[in-house]
A and B are shown apart, each in its own frame.
Chain A
Amino acid sequence: MSVATALRWRGGDLAPSLVLPLVALAALPTMSFSTWLTFTIAGIAMGMMLFLMASGLTLIFGLMDVLNFAHGAFVTLGAYVAVSVMAALAGWSAADSWWLNLAALLVALVAAILASGAAGLLFERIIIRRVYGAHLRQILVTVGGLIVAEQLIVALWGANPLSLPKPASFRGSILLGDVAIETYRIIALLLGLAVYVALHLVLNRTRIGLLVRAGVENREMVEALGYRIRRLFVGVFVAGTALAGMGGVMWGLYQELVTRAIGADMTVLVFIILIIGGLGSVGGCFVGALLVGLLTNYVGFLAPKLALGSNILLMAAILLWRPRGLFPVAKE
C-alpha cells in the first residue's frame, strides 16, 4: 500500500519501483545538473499537489469500486473557497509577516477542507448512494453531478477567472548554490509529504485504517465480520473530497489564477496517475503522482508543447507493460 511496502522485494518484482528513479535519471543528461535539480524539486512539488487530489479518488475506488468523475469539482470548489478566504484575509496575506501569511494559508486550507468535505458528504448522499455496484450509471450520474456542480460554482463565483495571489512571503525563491527553488514549492512539498505520512499512519497504524485496507481487499468479508462498511465509506469519501479541496487550494495558489476548468484539467492528470499507479493503491498513487509531476516538468522544459502528450504516452507504455498499473491492489 505504501511506498515502503511497494519498494519491498515482492516475489522479485522490483521493476515497477525502478520506473521513478529511471525517469529522473533519464532526464539528467538532457540538461545541466542545477537545472535538473530545480526541475526535479519542482516536479516533486507538483507531484505532491497532484497526490492530494488523486489519493482520495483512488481510495474511494479501492474501497467501494466507485469511480467518481466529479472529483475535479471538489478541486474547483476548494480553489474558489480559497479565493474568497484570501480576499477576506488580504491584509494577512499581504502583510510582511511570515506567521500572518502562514495563518492566511492555513485558514484557506481549513475552509476549503470543510467546504469540499461538506459538499462531498452531500454528493455521496444525493448522487452516489443510489448507484453502488453499477459502473455505467455511476459514470453517468457522477458526470451529471459534475455538470451541476460546475454550473453551481459558476453561479456563485461568476464565470470569469479570478486571481489568487500567493501570500507575500511565499513568493520568490531560495538560492542553494546555483539551484533556484521557489519557496511555494517547498511549502507544497512539505504539505504533500505531511498528508502522505498522515495517510500512511492512519491506514497502517489505526483500527479504521485496518478496516479500510481490509475493505479494499475484500469488502464482503469485512461486512460479514459485522462492520458497517457503508459508514466507513462515507468517511473515506468525505476525506477524499476534502483532500481534493486542499489540492485545489494549493494548485490555485501555485497558478495564482482560478478558472472554472481548474478541476476538469486536473482530472485528466489524476486519471493518468490512477491508471499508472494501479486503481485503489495509495502507494501506487504516490509514485504515479511523482512520475507525472516529474515528467511534466522535464518535458515542459525540453519541449513545452509535449507535456500532456508525454504523460499519456507514459500511461500507454505502462498499460502495455503492466495492464493493471505499477502497483495493483490484490483484490478478490
Chain B
Amino acid sequence: MSDSSDRWRRRLDTLLSGDRPGGVLLDGLLLAVLVVLALTPFLFPGTRSVAVAARICIFVVLAASYDVMLGYTGIVSFAHTMFFGIGAYGVAIALTKFGVGWGAVLLGTAAGVALAVVLAAIIGLLSLRVRAIFFSMITLAVASLAQLLATQLRDLTGGEDGLTFSVPQVLTPGFRLIEGTVLGVRLDGRLITYYLIFAVALALFLLMLRIVNSPFGRVLEAIRENAFRAEALGYRTVVYRTLAGALSAAMAALAGALMALLLRYNGPAATLSFDVMVDILLMVVIGGMGTLYGPVLGAVVLVMAEYYLQPAMATVAGAVAGWPLLPALFDPDRWLLWLGLLFVLIVYFFPSGIVGKLREMRSG
C-alpha cells in the first residue's frame, strides 16, 4: 500500500520536476484550478465560460514564460507581448496566405517561434552586454516599434483591423465529433479547440517547470541573486540571460499561436498592446515571482477580474453615485486602477506574491 503511494509520489515528482507547490492550501488551490480547467466545458457549459477558461490556459503559459525572465533571471522585459504577437501573427498570416490546414498552422507556429527566438537573442546580446537596465528600456522601444510595424505593414498583417481567418475544420464550431451529446455537452469544434489549448498549455507549463529546475535554471537563479558572483564562478551571464530570454520568447510565441487559434482573429490590440503587457506583469507579480506556480494563480485572478470585477465595480459605483469623485474611481473602466494599487502593495509588502505568502504560512 505504502509502496504504491510511494511510487505515485515519485511519478508526481518526475512530472513536476521535483518542484512541489508546497503547503496544503497551495496544493489544494492549484489542484482545484487544474481540475476546474480540465472539466470547464462540462462544469460550466456555455461559450463565455469556456472562452474565459481558454484565456486562462493561454495566459498561464504567457505569464509563466514571463516569470522565467522576471522571477528566475531577474530582468524586466517590456517586449513580451511582441513575442506573443509574433506567434499569433505567424499562425494568422500562414492561415490567411497559404489556406486553411494543419500544415499552415504548424508552419506559422514554427516561423513565429523562430522569429521570436532570433529577435530575443539579438535584443539580449545587444543590451545585456551593457547593463540589465538597458534591456528594460530597449525592450520598451522595440515593443512600440513592433506595434507600429504591425499597424503599418497592412498587406501582411491587416493593419489596425488585424486578420480574421478560418481555422482547420476540426476546430470550427460547426464541426461535430459525434452526433448527440455527452453529459449534456456537444462534442463540437469549440470543445476540441479548448482541449487542444488546455493540453498544449499544460505540456508547456510542465516543460518550463522542468527547465527552471534543471542545472540551467539554477544558474539563472544564481545570476538573479548576484550576477557578479555568477560571472566569477565562470558562468557567462550574458549568454545565460540571452538564452533565458530566447526560451521565454519561444514560449510566448507558442502562447500567441494558441491565442490565434482560439480567437480565429489577430490584431494589434489583441496581442501586441501595452495593456496586455501590463496584464502579464500584474499576473506574475500578484501570483508570485520566481515560482512558476505564481503566474498560474495570477492568470486566474487577472482573467477572472477582467471578466467579473467590472460588474462588481459598477454596483459600487451605483451605490456611491451622489459622492464627488468616487463614482469616477469605481467606474467599471477603472478596474486597472485597483489592480495597479494591489500590484504596488504586493511589490512592497509581499514581494513573493500569493504563492510566497501561502508557502510562508505553511512554514510559519
Contacts and interface: CB of A to CB of B under 8 A. Distances in A.
A199 interface: no
A144 B337 CA distance: 9
Interface string B127-158: 10110111011101110110011001000000
Given A147-B343, A148-B337, A148-B340, A141 B278 contact: no
A144 B347 contact: yes
A155 B325 contact: yes
A22 to B, nearest CB: 22
A151 B337 contact: yes
A154 B334 contact: yes
A67 B133 contact: yes
Interface in A89-147: 127, 130-131, 135-137, 139-141, 143-145, 147
A321 B129 CA distance: 12
B334 A147 contact: no
Contacts, number: 99
B141 A309 contact: no
A301 interface: no
A172 interface: no
A141 B281 CA distance: 11
A136 B325 CA distance: 34
Interface string B178-208: 0000000000000000000000000000000
The interface size bin for chain A is 35 or more
Interface string B333-353: 110110111011001100100
Nearest to A304: B152
A52 B333 CA distance: 32
Contact of A315 (B141, B281, B285): B141
A45 B136 CA distance: 28
Contacts of A131: 347
A120 B148 CA distance: 31
A249 interface: no
Contact of B328 (A144, A147, A156, A271): A156
B324 to A, nearest CB: 11
Contacts of A139: 76, 133, 136
A264 interface: yes
A316 interface: yes
Interface in A64-90: 67, 69
A200 interface: no
Nearest to A136: B74
Given A155-B329, A275-B138, A147 B152 contact: no
Interface residues of B, number: 41
Contacts of A155: 325, 328-329, 331, 334, 337
Contact of A130 (B126, B281, B348): B348
Given A155-B331, A271-B137, A324-B130, A136 B76 contact: yes
A158 to B, nearest CB: 9
A323 B141 contact: no
A224 to B, nearest CB: 24
The binding surface of chain B is classed by DSSP as helix
Contacts of A37: none
A287 to B, nearest CB: 18
A135 B132 contact: yes
A147 B347 contact: no
Contacts of B129: 323
Contacts of B343: 140, 144, 147
B127 A319 contact: yes
B126 A320 contact: yes
Contacts of B281: 140, 143
Contacts of A271: 137-138, 140-141
B59 interface: no
A115 to B, nearest CB: 17
Contact of B141 (A147, A156, A264, A312): A312
B274 interface: yes
Interface in A313-332: 315-316, 319-320, 323-324
A25 interface: no
Contacts of B274: 264
B344 A145 contact: yes
8 contacts: A140-B347, A141-B344, A143-B278, A144-B341, A144-B347, A159-B333, A271-B138, A312-B145
Q: Which 8 A-B pairs have the closest CB atoms?
A: A147-B340, A151-B337, A144-B344, A148-B340, A271-B137, A155-B328, A144-B343, A323-B130
